[in-house]
Amino acid sequence: MRHLKRWRGIAVFTAVVVILLVPLTGQETNLVDLNSGRARSEYSVLGRIVYQGDRNTEFSRRYNVERPEHEQWVRVSSYQLYNATSPHYRYHSAESLMGTLVAAFDAKQIPREEQSALAHELLSLMRQEKLSEAERFVYELGR
């Protein structure tokens, strides 16, 4: 009976520690591939990735049907589960730029062949770390 109480106490203590540690150490990180426009979400606890999922964005569905041979993932945002703010990352606007470009194509009814070339131009600017130019590029197309 004494051993049972000790094991129960250890189990309760472990459960309390896990319940407290997961929210304090859990983190969600969002990335984007600069070769395809695909998005990735990673969830980690205690620094270990417990889930990683890739998804197509509207941008990648339209202009990069196949997965590229080489992926170039860059961090867009990361959130700790107890804190809803993200540090500022260099590529924080990558997903919104791609979404804005798709919206501009739809609004201006740009031909499909031209859309693909312009989409690849945007990815090229971002791969070259010319983010200000990429923002101007999308802004000018949307005007």
- Amino acid in the structure at residue 88: H
Q: Distance between CA 133 and CA 72 in Å, rounded?
A: 19
- What pLDDT, on the 0 to 100 scale, is given for residue 130? 92
- What pLDDT, on the 0 to 100 scale, is given for residue 32? 93
Sheet containing strand 48-55, edge to edge, reads: 48-55, 39-45, 27-33, 73-80
- What pLDDT, on the 0 to 100 scale, is given for residue 135? 92
Cα distance from N-terminal residue to C-terminal residue, the chain: 77
Containing structural domain, residue 123: 2-142
Number of domains in the chain: 1
Give the pLDDT confidence of 32-48 residue by residue, as tens digits.
999 889 999 999 888 88
DSSP designation for 68: P
- In order along its 143 residues, the chain shows pLDDT tens digits of 666 777 888 888 888 777 776 666 788 899 999 988 999 999 988 888 889 999 999 998 888 656 667 889 998 888 876 666 667 788 888 888 999 999 999 888 888 888 989 999 999 999 999 999 999 999 998 78
pTM of the model: 0.75
- What pLDDT, on the 0 to 100 scale, is given for residue 2? 67
Q: Distance between CA 41 and CA 53 in Å, rounded?
A: 5
